[in-house]
């Protein structure tokens, strides 16, 4: 692999005018983002999250498609004719390395700008797991309760449960909800007034579980609107040292998703028109996004959910190893496809 | 090998096209070469080369003339291994041109300019030197030597995107001759060259012939072949229709235009 060819690839994927443009847009987001909305006390984390997502949004809308399109151009057969004397595998590897470095540069630049925009980074919370809930309407005097064995183990650390609820439209202005968690011996509960789609947090720091199954109960208290418990709406949250983990987790997913998209565009461009290769690469990356969290083999699988977590002021859960294995396999396959195109010179489209 | 006796105007001699018997494989051998392109997924394939037969002996120099769109550049691209034929075969010294060892024996001057415009000529020559297996220490010196040879020593560190057409052609010559290839495929080598450039081209082709390299030169201007090629093949409508003595084509543009006209009439149903 020729270092000079890697450097040339980076220049071709991310030429300085493009890098400068992206940098300027990101800096604008640092300086101008985050007009102060009406926030309740203690909800500053949401404002910081919004500032973070401003930077990530600019990157997603402007930088990512450009990078994928330029990767497609790089893989075009005609553009690589001058590499005919080069070993195809070495040239393909150099191209792939250059593309990955460019991806890392854009993602880390975005993460840096996102953190500059967000400002201070106090302790935060990270989503560890999500649980299914018995979704449905909560009628007065008929609380919903269910057992969650996944929360039986007590590792001694702080634990917060967050449950997503809303009120049925037209049923009234608001309702009071009581969320309770109990073991055989102890219980903890919280009561909140709910007027729209929101969440209720319940801290379980002092609840001794010791392997006892945790029984959860949600009840509508008094008169008011008809509350609704949302499906898959229970989250297990753990405290983290710094809120910056939000950008870190998002950056890991972004790097994996963008690397896969760019590698696919590079690999496919030798066999079809570069523009078509770029569009197809984006479409293929969107497939696991559509499949949702079930698609654990690709970093794009829970990108939307991770985005939602950050918007809610939470750090997304760490990516499973299977996502990295899936990304690596696709990048390797795309690299092999590019190498094959360099070696066999299929008919130029 | 080349065939057809049709349409040769009076005054132009047909040349024997048989390759002299030799133990070594031909420098370039095209057998029943067909190349077609589709302009769209469902569009019919347009045939550019239609059963080309050509053999170029080691050390032989041959011109390739033909009207616009006759397939000269396509033929050279196929010979250089930049494209794959639709049918038929291309062999360079008995081996497929896509093989890396074969690539090391081919020097190709393209009609266009596929080199990275962001880089300087020196950087590209160094990279190409590396691809051809030149030792790291020699790459810089070799690149400088070749740039000096083609008159681009003063432009060694300027990006290729700033080069004029003539400078690009000179650079093209440097990269084609860089590794001392045994088969040179030159596509319109004089296009855009000035008088000094012509001189450089003559010197380089002369040296290549002296060391026994084979040359295939595609051109529109027969006088370009005057000192290089004794024979030339005429490519018309995707076929090699004649092998001629180059000297017979020096009668000016009207002679060549007459030849193409006659061939066109001969091809009409």
Instruction: Please state the domain extents for chain B.
Output: 1-38+47-105+181-269, 112-179
Residue B5: what pLDDT?
40
| Inside any domain, residue A117 | yes
Which range of A132-136, A171-175, B157-161, B219-223 scores highest in mean pLDDT? It is: B157-161
In a 13 Å sphere around the CA of B158, the CA atoms on its Cβ side amount to 13
Residues A218 and A269 in one domain: no
Q: Residue A324 sits in which domain range?
A: 3-123+243-344
- How remote is the C-alpha of B110 from its chain's centroid? 8
Residue A297: what pLDDT?
74
Q: Is A3 on the interface with B (CB under 8 A)?
A: no
Residue A260: what pLDDT?
95
Tell me which residues of chain A, numbers 80 to 99, contact chain B at a CB-CB cutoff of 8 Å.
81-87
Residues A217 and A328 in one domain: no
| Inside any domain, residue A331 | yes
Residue B254: what pLDDT?
67
Residues A117 and A260 in one domain: yes
ipTM for the assembly: 0.80
Residue A300: what pLDDT?
77
Contact B135, B126 (CB under 8 A): no
Residues A44 and A114 in one domain: yes
Residues A100 and A77 in one domain: yes
Q: Return the residue of B nearest to A9 by Cα.
A: B116
pLDDT means over runs of 10, chain B (269 residues): 43 48 81 86 82 91 88 93 91 91 92 92 94 89 94 92 93 94 93 87 92 91 77 86 71 68 61
Domain boundary among A180, A208, A240: A240
Contact B140, B161 (CB under 8 A): no
| Inside any domain, residue A349 | no
Residue B6: what pLDDT?
41
Whole-angstrom Cα distance, residue A301 to residue A294? Answer: 7
Gyration radius from chain B CA atoms = 19
Select the residue of A5, A85, A348 nearest B132 (Cβ to Cβ).
A85
Q: Return the residue of B nearest to A89 by Cα.
A: B100
CATH number at residue A221: 2.60.120.260
Residue B21: what pLDDT?
54
Mean pLDDT of A254-279: 94
CB contact under 8 A, B81 and A346: no
Per the structure, how many domains does chain A have? 2
Angle at B165 (CA atoms; ends B164, B169), nearest 5 degrees: 115
Contacts of B203 (CB under 8 A, 6+ apart): none
Whether pTM exceeds 0.90: no
Residue B12: what pLDDT?
47
Select the residue of B81, B110, B130 nearest A2 (Cβ to Cβ).
B130
Its CATH class, for the domain covering B1-38+47-105+181-269, is alpha beta
Contact A348, A269 (CB under 8 A): no
In a 13 Å sphere around the CA of B61, the CA atoms on its Cβ side amount to 21
| Inside any domain, residue A138 | yes
Q: Is A184 on the interface with B (CB under 8 A)?
A: no
Domain boundary among A200, A219, A240: A240
Q: What would the pLDDT profile of A189-221 be if each residue is shown by its tens digit?
A: 899 999 888 889 998 877 776 777 788 999 988
Q: Compare A310 and A296 and report the one with higher pLDDT.
A: A310
Mean pLDDT of A123-140: 87
- How would residue A3 be classed by pLDDT, with cut points 50, 70 and 90? confident
Residues A208 and A252 in one domain: no
Burial B229-239 (b: 16+ CB within 10 A, else e): bebbbbbbbbb
Give the mutation candidate from A3, A10, A74, A84 for the B interface (greatest B CB count, under 10 A): A84
Could you tell me what percent of chain A has a pLDDT over 70? 92
Residues A110 and A153 in one domain: no
Residue B268: what pLDDT?
38
Query: Above 80 in pLDDT, residue A92?
Result: yes
Contact B148, B178 (CB under 8 A): no
Select the residue of A4, A79, A85 nearest B123 (Cβ to Cβ).
A4
Residues A8 and A119 in one domain: yes
Query: Above 60 in pLDDT, residue A107?
Result: yes
């Amino acid at each position: 692999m020729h270092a000079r060819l890697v450097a040339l690839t980076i220049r071709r994927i991310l030429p300085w005018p493009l890098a400068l443009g992206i940098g300027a847009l990101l800096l604008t987001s640092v300086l101008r983002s985050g007009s102060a909305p009406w926030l309740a006390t203690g909800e500053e984390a949401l404002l910081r999250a919004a500032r973070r997502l401003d930077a990530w949004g600019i990157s997603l809308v402007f930088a990512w498609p450009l990078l994928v399109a330029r990767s497609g151009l790089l893989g075009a057969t005609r553009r690589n004719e001058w590499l005919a004397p080069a070993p195809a595998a070495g040239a393909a590897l150099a191209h792939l390395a250059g593309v990955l470095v460019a991806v890392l540069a854009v993602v880390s630049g975005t993460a840096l700008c996102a953190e500059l925009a967000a400002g201070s980074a106090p302790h935060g919370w990270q989503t560890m797991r999500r649980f299914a809930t018995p979704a449905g309407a909560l009628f007065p005097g008929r609380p919903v309760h269910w057992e969650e064995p996944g929360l039986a183990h007590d590792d001694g650390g702080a634990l917060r449960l967050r449950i997503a609820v809303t009120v049925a439209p037209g049923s009234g202005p608001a309702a009071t909800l009581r969320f309770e968690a109990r073991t055989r011996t102890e219980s903890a509960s919280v009561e909140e007034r709910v007027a729209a789609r929101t969440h209720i947090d319940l801290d379980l720091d002092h609840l001794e579980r010791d392997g006892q199954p945790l029984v959860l109960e949600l009840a509508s208290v008094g008169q008011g609107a008809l509350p609704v418990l949302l499906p898959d709406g229970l989250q297990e949250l753990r405290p983290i040292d710094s809120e910056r983990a939000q950008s870190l987790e998002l950056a890991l997913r972004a790097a994996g998703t963008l690397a896969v998209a760019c590698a696919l565009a590079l690999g496919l461009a030798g066999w079809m028109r570069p523009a078509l290769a770029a569009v197809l690469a984006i479409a293929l990356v969107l497939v696991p996004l559509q499949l949702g969290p079930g698609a654990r083999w690709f970093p794009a699988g829970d990108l939307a959910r991770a985005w939602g977590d950050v918007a809610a002021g939470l750090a997304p859960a760490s990516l499973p190893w299977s996502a990295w294995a899936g990304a690596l396999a696709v990048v390797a396959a795309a690299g092999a496809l590019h190498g094959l195109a360099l070696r066999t010179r299929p008919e130029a489209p | 090998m080349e065939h057809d006796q049709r349409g040769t105007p009076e005054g132009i001699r047909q040349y024997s096209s048989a390759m002299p018997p030799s133990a070594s494989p031909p420098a370039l051998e095209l057998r029943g070469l067909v190349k077609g392109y589709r302009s769209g997924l469902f569009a019919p394939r347009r045939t550019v080369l239609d059963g080309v037969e050509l053999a170029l002996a080691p050390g032989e120099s041959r011109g390739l003339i033909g009207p616009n769109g006759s397939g000269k550049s396509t033929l050279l691209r196929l010979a250089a291994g930049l494209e794959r034929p639709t049918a038929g075969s291309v062999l360079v010294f008995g081996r497929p041109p896509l093989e890396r060892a074969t690539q090391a024996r081919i020097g190709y001057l393209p009609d266009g300019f596929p080199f990275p415009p962001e880089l300087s000529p020196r950087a590209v020559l160094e990279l190409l030197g590396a691809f051809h297996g030149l030792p790291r220490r020699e790459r810089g010196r070799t690149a400088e030597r070749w740039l000096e040879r083609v008159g681009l020593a003063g432009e060694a560190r300027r990006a290729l995107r700033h080069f004029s057409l003539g400078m690009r052609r000179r650079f093209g010559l440097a990269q084609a001759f860089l590794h001392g290839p045994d088969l040179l495929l030159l596509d319109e080598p004089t296009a855009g060259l000035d008088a000094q450039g012509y001189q450089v081209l003559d010197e380089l082709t002369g040296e290549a012939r002296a060391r026994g390299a084979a040359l295939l030169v595609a051109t529109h201007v027969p006088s370009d072949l005057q000192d290089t090629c004794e024979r030339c093949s005429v490519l018309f409508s995707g076929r090699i229709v004649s092998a001629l003595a180059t000297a017979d084509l020096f009668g000016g543009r009207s002679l060549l235009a007459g030849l193409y006209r006659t061939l066109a009439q001969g091809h009409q149903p």
